[in-house]
Amino acid sequence: MKTTITSICKLNEHHTMFRIGDATLPYSEQLHALMEACAAWLAEHEGQTPLFRRFFLSDAANQQTALEQALDGVPFCATSIVQQPPLDGTKIALWLWSASGLTAEQGCFTHNGLTHYWMGGSIPYSRADISSLDARPRVSDSEHQMRDLFDAWRCELKPMEMNIADNGIRTWIFVRDVDVNYRGVVDGRRKYFARIGLTPKTHFLASTGIEGRHALPEVLVQMDGYAVRGLQKGQVQYLYAKDHLNSTYEYGVTFERGTAVTYGDRRHVFISGTASIDDKGRVVHEGDVCAQTLRMLENIRALLAEADCTPSDIASAIVYLRDTADAEVVRALLAQQLPMLNYVLVLAPVCRPTWLVEMECIAVREVNHPEFPNF
């Protein structure tokens, strides 16, 4: 079998993981098999519109161009491409988020008076530096690239009458050489958020900041984002689990542990990258990946509980490891603790070297809140 597919359907939306079944195939064949499998799956699930997709590559410098060429002619979908090698020995994997009933216009979806916008694969072009379609990002540090990325997102949202502070829900931030460049990302985000009025007294966005590479070596930071226009007061809830975790601003970073968005028919819960941390912001169980995995899951359960959800509501998850040698141990532990988890396991060091494992997830739970529009 060339591909394996796992899909969780919640109401009218699917979170689907596509993986290669034969790790010995060359990249060209793995890519072809993955694209064929995705096209076949969409054909079998008529009416499902792709909302967002992320490709995980083992070697972006040598693989990204071929992937981009393979996507030519494929119906548009907000697309993220990041070097985070799948830890099953393959060269490529895909997470696809799709739903029915939404009308798509270049990554922007409208339904029930709401506008959803997914941004994928944004890299830090400074607008002053773009003189042609072949322009490349300017060479700068991670702090300035982070600020450029948020400014690019602001510019993309403005024509849709959205802004980061009022409409931003979730970001994914990928940092080349995270042990070196993460501090600049933290500083750039904090300064940009302060400029647009996001402070500890207001709110931040759910986020993952993790190792991830682009094919271009000068790209130190790339970002994906999700924003929604039309939400009413009371639809957005920020999750803290203060018995387990502390507020991120206490150690100088600016993101929410989790964000829940309640619609009339469902609740979406975005759990940020979560590791083995306690309510004082300290790393727990240094050097023990098994104990860290269990504490990580405990923290995630606590965050989900604040949104009246459980791990059974998780539609998709990404698990990040610092050390490939820990893959089998963590995979076995996840199978024991969450046997139905729909996830991809990738190589991606976390922002602190002593964190050996991190997980993010999206949960979807059916609710009945007629005072709000349906998703």
Which has the closest alpha carbon to 136: 208, 70, 218? Answer: 218
pTM reported for the whole predicted model: 0.95
Lookup result for tokens 């024991």:
336
Lookup result for tokens 């895909």:
94
CATH 3.30.1330.40 residue ranges for the chain: 1-101, 102-230, 233-370
CB 332 within 8 A of CB 338: no
When computed from its CA atoms, the radius of gyration of the chain, rounded to whole angstroms, is 19
Question: CA 13, CA 97: separation in Å to the nearest integer?
Answer: 7
Q: What is the pLDDT of residue 128?
A: 42
The DSSP element (H or E) to which 303 belongs, if any, is: helix 289-306
Question: CA 162, CA 229: separation in Å to the nearest integer?
Answer: 6
Averaged over successive runs of 10 residues, the pLDDT of the chain (375 residues) comes to 91 96 96 97 94 97 97 92 98 97 79 93 66 58 94 93 97 98 97 96 97 95 97 96 95 96 98 97 96 98 98 98 98 98 98 97 97 95
Q: What is the pLDDT of residue 179?
A: 97
Q: What is the pLDDT of residue 2?
A: 86
Q: What is the pLDDT of residue 174?
A: 98
Q: What is the pLDDT of residue 106?
A: 66
Q: What is the pLDDT of residue 108?
A: 87
Q: What is the pLDDT of residue 135?
A: 56
The fold adopted by the segment(s) 1-101 is: 60s Ribosomal Protein L30; Chain: A; (3.30.1330)
Q: How far is CA 48 from CA 15, 35, 75, 96, 103, in A?
A: 11, 16, 12, 11, 11
* Cα angle 200-204-207, degrees, rounded to a multiple of 5: 135
**CATH code matching the domain that covers 102-230, chosen among 3.20.20.70, 2.40.50.100, 3.30.1330.40, 3.40.50.300:** 3.30.1330.40
Angle, helices 27-44/60-71, rounded to nearest 10 degrees: 40
